[in-house]
Structure formats: structure tokens, C-alpha cells
Structure 1
Amino acid sequence: MKHYFLFLLFAYFCSFGQTSYFPHLSYGKSSQQILDLYVPNGNLKDVPVVILLHGGSWSMGGLEYTNKHAKDIANKGFVVANVDYRYINDTISAKDLLEDINFAVAYVSKNSVKYGYAQKGYHIVGISAGAHLALLYGYTNKNMKSIVALCAPSRLDSAETLELRKNNGHLDIIEKLAGSKINPNGNNPAVTKISPFSNISNIPTLLIHGNADNIVDVSQSKNLYNELKRKGVDAKLIIREGKGHDVGMNTPETEIQNIKDITEWVLLHNKLD
């Protein structure tokens, strides 16, 4: 069975030629509510559609962070929407970022007729802050076929996470993300509410994390994986030995392996409803 699946992967990856690129498409009124769309040439009827979210601590970065990864996934024959979203501030919180993702997904779906790919049943992939959003969006909206999260902050209300943010002077980022001040006594329901660990639903989830990550400890993905398995969710955890917060995405050899693992997971879960 495994050999047959590998044969199908090889046949799939070899069945597409060039990819068309449509940059900076606006899905909302904000200048940050834009996405780059990659559409492979060919019959797109059963082609996976990937929503890709960049990192940047919810407060920096843009499409340039994930531009190469979007191209690499698209070159495997996938439709990819590389999505930008607004930065958090005193009035924009996680709720608004999830709304951005929802608008972006709706935009991609609306344009499916134009390009010929599926109207629904997409997959979501995120890195760092984008991984947090991918998990939270996937679990709360339940309209994704699978999730891939690289170096994901998954339990923002844990004492370790809050202490780390406090020590590096960025506790305010979690407060803005949650839209609430942190209670030093440890009861923070607003932060729990935006933690993927507390919102798990039955969406197949691939977690990739470096065990030398000094920004988001690997225990975040290990604990989430254990909880996913406990709840019977189809899940896989890949630990990148010696890799830091970039999970090796900035190292050619490891980036190739990560892209391979991402695309194989997506293909495996791209069954028709």
C-alpha cells in the first residue's frame, strides 16, 4: 500500500507543467489584506488548494516571508494562496486575524470558477505565528481538510509561554492578540480562548518543530500532539533535530524535506468529501 501511495505521489508531481502567478490580489479594504495566488496549468479538478500563512509574531512580516515556500509548494502541482493579514494592535486582535483568513478563503473560493480549481475543501499551512493562526482557524472553522503547523505556539496560556514573553519584553503582544490584559495570577480565559490546544477539533494535523527552537519551545508541539492523539485526531509530529525556530526552512536541504512532508500530508488528506 505504501509503495502504491508513493507511486501516486510521483505520478501526481510529474503531471503539471508551469505555474501561473497572480500577485497582490486584494481580498479586503486594508493594504495588508492581500494574497498571492499560484495556479498550476492543467486539469485542476482534484488539485489540492493550500492556504499559506506567514509568521512574524502577529506584528511584522508579509508575503515575502513565505514567497519561496509558496512557489515550492505550487511547483508540486498545488494551487497556493500565500496570504497576508493585518498586524495586531490595540484594536486588532486574533479575532480580526481569523476574520482576515476567512475573507481570504472566501476570495479564493469565489475565484475557483475562474481558474477551475475546487470551490471548497482546502488545506491550511502556517509557520510560527501563521502556524498558530492555521491551527486556530482550522479547529474553530472546521472547513479545512488538513492543517500543517511549523513551530507553532499552540498553548499561549501556559505559564512557560507567558513567562518567556514577559522575560523578552513581548507580553504585550499576547495581550493584544487576546484583546485582554494578562492576569498575573494565572487565570486568563481570553488567552485560553485563542490557544489551539483548547480548541481542538477533528482536523488531520501535521506538526513540524525544531528541538533547538529558543522562541517557541518544542514542548508546545509535543503537548499538542499528545492531546490530539488522546482525542483520536489523525495527527503526526516531526521533530527536526538541531533546528531552531525556522525549522530548517532557511536551509536548502531541510526546506526540501519540509516541503515534501507538507505536500505528502496534504495529498494524503485531499480525498473528496
Structure 2
Amino acid sequence: MKHYFLFLLFAFCSSFGQTNYFPHLSYGKSSQQILDLYVPNGNLKDVPVVILLHGGSWSMGGLEYTNKHALDIANKGFVVANVDYRYINDTISAKDLLTDIGAAIKYVSKTSGKYGYAKKEYHIVGISAGAHLALLYGYTKRNMKSITALCAPSKLDSPEVLELRKNSGHLDIIEKLAGAKINPSGNNVAVTKISPFSNISNIPTLLIHGNADNVVDVSQSQNLYNELKRKGIETKLIIREGKGHDVGMNTPETEIQNIKDITDWILQHNK
């Protein structure tokens, strides 16, 4: 019995060097409404708090997609909430995923008193579908200090995105995300409404994209960057030469560089 207790204690409160790990904390009733919390030791009063969102085309994957990246960011001395969220379906759309993110952030804020980190003014980071959600949440809620988006689909109503989805047989994913059928002749208001490009607000935004990405074309980040610059919003675009949709996150040396760029951006905007 003693050994079983010690096993449970290790499973639910492990320590990676100077980072304490609290897995699968529930912020809602769904089995997918969970997050992993990484909390460094020491005085956390001015430590950045990062909300991390995984990818998976809004319809697959989970915390396992980003647990290494979460730990790498946490080991830089940051508090990190690696957030899972529900999959889209006929009744769950983008607005529900934004609700999930909001509920996760509320949970992280409520838990702050237990560990001594900031109660608000967090940073949000996302990869692929998670990058889309990070941008959309950040721009519409306007309560983030910074946004970082890796290989982000940012203009879902663009003809090239809809054509790619149609050719791959996954146009229904965009329809479920928007909660509306696609109009082949254009004027897809519901899709425009969930496109970060159409919801830009004054949040410092870092964009990282591979120029060999055959899932989300690099032009999605380039066009968003140009629009942010046009509107006078602080932004930075990093193009990873020869990298595909993983933006080099699965290559050790490139992942190290991505983590550095992400954490540098966050520190720059944590004042």
C-alpha cells in the first residue's frame, strides 16, 4: 500500500529538475477539458505564465503533442499550462473551443494563489490548429500579453485554404469549425468570422512558419504579418527554411531555436 501511495504521489506531482509537474487537471466536465500544469520552484511573482495549445486539425491529438515543448518552456523558468480542448463535431465549433480555452485560463488563474504566480496577463502559444485558436482567442478576448503562432491557419476563408481542404476531403472540418456550410460561390461569413486575419487586435504577435509547409502554406503567416504591420501592431515573422508543417519542432536543434525564439518573445512582452 505504501509503494502504491508513493507511485500515485510521483504520478500526480513529479519534478523535472526545477519544474514541478501536475498532470491532467480538470477545468471542465468533458474528459478532454484537462490541462497539465508545469510550475517552477522559487519566487514566481514576475514569472511569465504561458497557455500552450496543441495542434491536430481541431479534431485529433491531445496534450501528448506538446508535452515536450511544454516542459522545455517550463525549464526556462516559466509557468506553463499545456491545455487540451474538445474536438469539433456537428455541435461543437470554434466558439466552443474558445470557451474551453477561457475556462482553462480561468482555472489557471484560480490556481495561481496556491503557487504564487500571476493571476492574470498571460501569454498564449499555439501550434497549427492550436495556433489558429491562440490567435483567435488572443485577438477576440484581448486579455493576453503576447501571442505566438507556429504554422498558423490564419485566413480560413481564403480560396487556397478552402480548395486545399476540399481536395483533401476535409472541407467538413472547416464547416464544423465555423458551424456553417461552405458556400462554393464565396461570401462565407461564418468562416471569415473565425479567421484571425479578420479579428486582428493590438496584441504583440510572433509568427513562425516553415516555407516547405504543405499543410498550411507559409503565405498564411506572411499575409497576416503584412496586415499586422499595416495596422501598426508589433509583430515578428520567422521563416524556417526547408521546414514543413512541424516547423522543425521534431528536429532537436531547430526545436531548441524555436523554444528560444518563443521564450525570448514572451520575456520581451512580460513587462
Q: TM-score range by the shorter chain?
A: over 0.9
> Which residue matches 2:5?
none
- Per the TM alignment, residue 76 of structure 1 is displaced from its structure 2 partner at its CA by 0.1
Partners of 2:123 and 2:192 in 1: CA distance:
24
Q: Deviations along 1:196-223, whole A, 9 cap, x unmatched? A: 0000000000000000000000000000
Aligned match of 1:223 = 223
- Structure 1 partner of 2:178: 178
Could you list the runs of 5+ residues in structure 2 that have no partner in the other structure? 1-16
Give CA-to-partner distance per residue, 1:96-149, whole Å, 9 cap, x none: 000000000000000000110000010000000000000000000000000000
Q: Take 1:174 and 1:115, find their aligned partners in 2: how far apart are those partners? A: 39
Could you report, residue by residue, the CA deviation over 1:131-173 in whole angstroms, capped at 9, with x for unpaired residues? 0000000000000000000000000000000000000000000
1:123 aligns to what SS in structure 2? Answer: strand
1:185-200 matched pairs, under 5 angstroms = 185-200=185-200
SS of corresponding position for 1:223: helix
Match of 1:260 in 2: 260
Q: Distance in 1 between matches of 2:267 and 2:18?
A: 19
Looking at structure 1, the residues matched to 246 and 52 of structure 2 have their Cα atoms a distance apart, in angstroms, of: 15
Amino acid at match of 1:48: P
Partner residue of 1:201?
Answer: 201
d(CA) in 1 for partners of 2:48, 2:229: 25
In the TM superposition, residue 31 of structure 1 has moved relative to its aligned partner by 0.1
Structure 2: which amino acid aligns with 1:114?
A: K
1:38 maps to amino acid: Y
Cα RMSD over matched residues?
A: 0.4
| Displacement over 3 Å in runs of 4+ | none
TM-score under structure 1 normalisation? 0.93
Aligned counterparts, 1:1-273, within 5 A: 18-271=18-271
TM-score (ref. length: structure 2): 0.94
Deviation of residue 51 (structure 1)?
0.0
Query: Offset at 1:68?
Result: 0.1
Q: Distance in 2 between matches of 1:230 and 1:187?
A: 24
Amino acid at match of 1:76: K
What's the CA shift for 1:246? Answer: 0.1
Structure 1 residue 252 displacement after superposition? 0.1
Number of equivalenced pairs? 255
Provide the C-alpha distance between the structure 1 equivalents of 2:251 and 2:19, rounded to a whole number of angstroms: 24
One-letter identity of the residue aligned with 1:47: V
